[in-house]
Structure 1
Amino acid sequence: MSPLLPAGTALPPLPYLLAVLVGLGAVGLGLRRRRPTVTPAVAGGFAPWMATGAAGYALYQAEAVPDAVAPLFGNPTVYATTFVVAGVLWLAVADRPADAWSLTGVPGVLALAGSVCFAVLVGVGIRHALATGTVTPAGPVRALALSVVVTGSVWLTVRSRVGVTGLPGVLALFGHVLDGLSTAQGIALGFGEQTPLSAALIEAGHGLPPAAVFGEAWLFVLVKAVVATLVLFAFRGYVRDEPGEGSLFLGLVAAVGFGPGVHNLVLFTIA
């Protein structure tokens, strides 16, 4: 298995796989033909959908998903499934303003629909956890609060130089800080890191003196925050010159941090 892929990564049974591939192909073709406008706001509007996919995988791991649809919630299928749903919605509202956060604009519709889906999944997860007696929200809440504080502090420090990256930049920074700190909280709760490369980085930090003060995942958290900040510096010119493409790529950077971070929060709360 690749050191970049978490444990448990597997494709679903063939019928489910074909259905997802057909959906991806149809959405991809639709997006290619319509070429909807991408703005920083549109990129931000997809954040709740990143969270939705992450929550879906957490429910799958907690065995809170009905068997009939469970293969669609495995990793990485759940993210493809989520993209198909979000992509269909994007195509349906592509003719609306791409900068308006109201329900008359693309970002507002995407964000609201994604938030509703996320809330439903979290509700299902909490109901399952209450039934099994496994609700543990304190640790995840601490990780979330600390992530907000750290992200805000870093952003205020570098905003004068990378502020052009806007909402996608903030989301990218927050996502990777959240991934790092939620992983650290998970280790404190007894969960193991699923991605081999991340686990190796955590193990390397565990043997260094700062671990006694900041915890064994301190190096992983530091690397995530530093790399995310450097990405903002690297992308500032790109976003300035090509706001649409730059925001799109920053959104992808955000997804690979924000998704795992939200997954950690939900899983550690309900498992």
Structure 2
Amino acid sequence: MVLPEGFVLPPWYLLVPILVVLAGVIALLWALEPPVTDRTVLAFVPWMLFGSALHVLHRLEAYPDQFETLFATPTVYLVTAIIAGGSWIIGIFLYAGGLQSTIERFVGVAGTAFFAVFTMVILNIGWEEGTFELFWPVISVVIAGIVTAVAWIALSLWFTDVAATTSATGALVVFGHTLDGVSTAIGYDVLGAAEDVPLSRLILEAGESLPTVEYIGAGWLFILVKVVLALVIVGLFKEWVEEQPQQARTVLALVAAVGLGPGVHNVLQFIVT
């Protein structure tokens, strides 16, 4: 099995309009050609978190049956992209009309508001069901922050030009994938959570076969793979960021979302289940 468990597409009468709207959003953004800087990427972080919250609510069966497939993998990514892209377009027009000082401010504030509202719904569900627990989720974020800091300092010392060129976007890539690795490892080793992604499960099983499993668990190998992979990707993007920063940072933002989204999803899920 190559696809993760829970991978399901909505019926065609929902999927086709989603694809059409997404194509329209992408086409309009392509025509507007908004600048993409580190600030732009950071402004979209709340939207990455928002997508995670949408999917957690799907896991909690909070949506009506006729719409729940919209928030399963992979359609939740498309839905999130449409809403986030729409906010970007609105921000561009507000900035052009002099109603906002920057495009990023509107995008970031709107994303934060969406994420905050949906996160409160998730936390309320956990509180009402008596499953609310913060210890391991907080530990996951703290450890991920420490590991990211160490990895980024090491990159800055040995490959200074890579860290300087990719800057905050590169650091976000490393943090996102580190959080995914740490939260997955804690879920697997400590909380007994199952891993849905086949490739990730293979790495965890490989760690479980090592003699170190009795002392530090199986997840450390997964963390190592995620951190090294993130650093390698950041290094490979250096020249592209120098030559075509707008396109390169856009793709790097997507790479960051692939790590940060699942990582935040794990953290939110651990809080309420």
Q: Same fold (TM over 0.5)?
A: yes
**Deviations 1:54-89 (Å, cap 9, x if unpaired)?**
111011001123445423211111111111011111
1:210 maps to: 212
Give the TM-score normalised by the residue count of structure 2.
0.91
Give identity over the alignment, percent.
38
Return the alpha-carbon distance in structure 2 between the equivalents of residues 59 and 151 of structure 1: 28
Give the TM-score normalised by the residue count of structure 1.
0.92
2:187 is the counterpart of 1:170: no
Q: 1:86 aligns with which of 60, 80, 84?
A: 84
Whether the aligned pair in 1 keeps the contact of 2:88 and 2:107 (CA below 8 Å) is yes
Once the two structures are overlaid, the 10-residue window that deviates more, 253-262 or 127-136, is 127-136
Whether the aligned pair in 2 keeps the contact of 1:96 and 1:106 (CA below 8 Å) is yes
**Deviations 1:215-270 (Å, cap 9, x if unpaired)?**
21111110000111111211122212222122112111111111110111111111
Return the alpha-carbon distance in structure 2 between the equivalents of residues 27 and 237 of structure 1: 29
Q: 1:231 aligns with which of 214, 230, 233?
A: 233
Give the count of matched residue pairs.
266
2:124 is the counterpart of 1:123: no
2:111 is the counterpart of 1:114: yes
SS in 2 for 1:63: coil
SS in 2 for 1:149: helix
1:134 maps to: 131
Q: 2:243 aligns with which of 241, 244, 250?
A: 241
Return the alpha-carbon distance in structure 2 between the equivalents of residues 143 and 215 of structure 1: 15
Return the alpha-carbon distance in structure 2 between the equivalents of residues 110 and 211 of structure 1: 44
2:259 maps to: 257
Q: CA deviation at 1:27?
A: 0.6
Once the two structures are overlaid, the 10-residue window that deviates more, 153-162 or 201-210, is 153-162
Q: CA deviation at 1:32?
A: 2.3
Return the alpha-carbon distance in structure 1 between the equivalents of residues 224 and 104 of structure 2: 32
2:9 is the counterpart of 1:11: yes
Whether the aligned pair in 1 keeps the contact of 2:177 and 2:256 (CA below 8 Å) is yes
Once the two structures are overlaid, the 10-residue window that deviates more, 238-247 or 66-75, is 66-75
Whether the aligned pair in 2 keeps the contact of 1:12 and 1:72 (CA below 8 Å) is yes
CA RMSD of aligned residues (A): 1.9
Which consecutive unaligned segments of at least 5 residues does structure 2 have?
A: none
Return the alpha-carbon distance in structure 1 between the equivalents of residues 116 and 131 of structure 2: 19
Whether the aligned pair in 1 keeps the contact of 2:91 and 2:104 (CA below 8 Å) is no
Residues 15-30 of structure 1 aligned to structure 2 (within 5 Å): 15-30=13-28
